[in-house]
Amino acid sequence: MSPKRIDRTERRRVILRAATEVFAARGYRAATMEEIAAAAGVAKGTLYLYFPSKEALFFALFERFADDAMAEGGADSETTNAVDAVAALLLQIAARIDADTVLVPLTLEFWSVAGVAETRDRFGARYGQMLDMFRGQITAMLRAGQRRGEVKEKLPLQPLASTLLGVIDGLIVQRWVDTELSVADTLREALPALMAGMRSGPGDARPAA
């Protein structure tokens, strides 16, 4: 019924998609608004009708990225063994990274832009939020596991969660330099050995019911 049949939400999405490609391929600074506009099939000026500045556009991208990542959470932490559930969460994230080729360079780019003094606050806060959420989730899963006697007591849950989560980012870095490497495959092989020590063995089982 609107005179012009233009769906602002849809066009915004198109622009964000184009920006994703361009930022991933060229980096934040090297990417030009011209390139993004061309990739989105709109004129340069149009970008400014949807995002007030280049930085805002990049930040919007980042937010969508963070939202998506955080939606990933909420797994079946109750049904399975806690250690397996944590592994499953990590593998799920890893699979998404392997599947979407722009995620690796784009993640690198987020880190870099966020490291720059001017943008540190905006980006850093948001990224920290995301990290906290994941760390919290992992910690909670492990704590639940401890309550159920699946996970050893006396484990430094916070540092463990940080480290486990870090594994993902660490493999992202290795993936950009070695495009053959599969984050998910690597994790699938390595996690069992790494997490074995967290399971409560026969000796330290709860006195049980």
Partner DNA sequence: CATGAATGAGGTTTCATTCAT
Partner DNA sequence: AATGAATGAAACCTCATTCAT
Residues at the contact surface with DNA, assessed by CB under 7 A: 1-6, 8, 11, 30-34, 42-46, 48-50, 52-55
Q: Which of DNA, its own copies, none interacts with 33 (beta carbon under 5 to 8 A by kind)?
A: DNA
Binding region for its own copies (CB under 8 A) out of 33-41, 51-59, 67-75, 123-131: 123-131
Joined together, the tokens standing for residue 199 give 């399971």
- Whole-angstrom distance, CA of residue 198 vs CA of residue 69: 26
Site string for its own copies, 80-119 (x = CB under 8 A): ------------------------xx--xx-xxxxxxxx-
198 interacts with its own copies by CB under 8 A: yes
Residue 69 interacting with its own copies (CB under 8 A): no
Q: Cα Rg for the chain, rounded, in angstroms?
A: 21
User: Which partner, its own copies, DNA, none, binds residue 205 by CB below 5 to 8 Å per kind?
Assistant: none
Q: Is 173 in the site for its own copies (CB under 8 A)?
A: yes
**Phi-psi region at 206: left, alpha or beta (left = phi > 0; alpha = psi -120 to 50):** beta
CB of 140: closest distance to its own copies in angstroms? Answer: 17
Q: Transcribe 166-208 into DSSP letters.
A: HHHHHHHHHHHH-TT--HHHHHHHHHHHHHHTTB--STT----
Beta carbons of 162 and 119 less than 8 angstroms apart: no
End-to-end CA distance of the chain: 66
Orientation of helix 117-147 relative to helix 82-99, angle to 10°: 150
Q: Which of 166, 35, 159, 169 is nearest to 111 (CA)?
A: 169
Query: Does residue 166 belong to the site contacting its own copies (CB under 8 A)?
Result: yes
- Cα angle 84-89-92, degrees, rounded to a multiple of 5: 120
Cβ–Cβ under 8 Å, residues 139 and 82: no
Selection from DNA, its own copies, none that 124 binds (CB < 5 to 8 A by kind) is: its own copies
Closer CB to its own copies, residue 78 or residue 204? 204
Nearer to its own copies, 105 or 149 (CB): 105
In the complex, the residues that contact its own copies under the rule CB under 8 A are 24-30, 104-105, 108-109, 111-118, 124, 127-128, 131, 152, 155-156, 159-160, 162-163, 165-171, 173-174, 176-178, 181, 185-187, 189-198
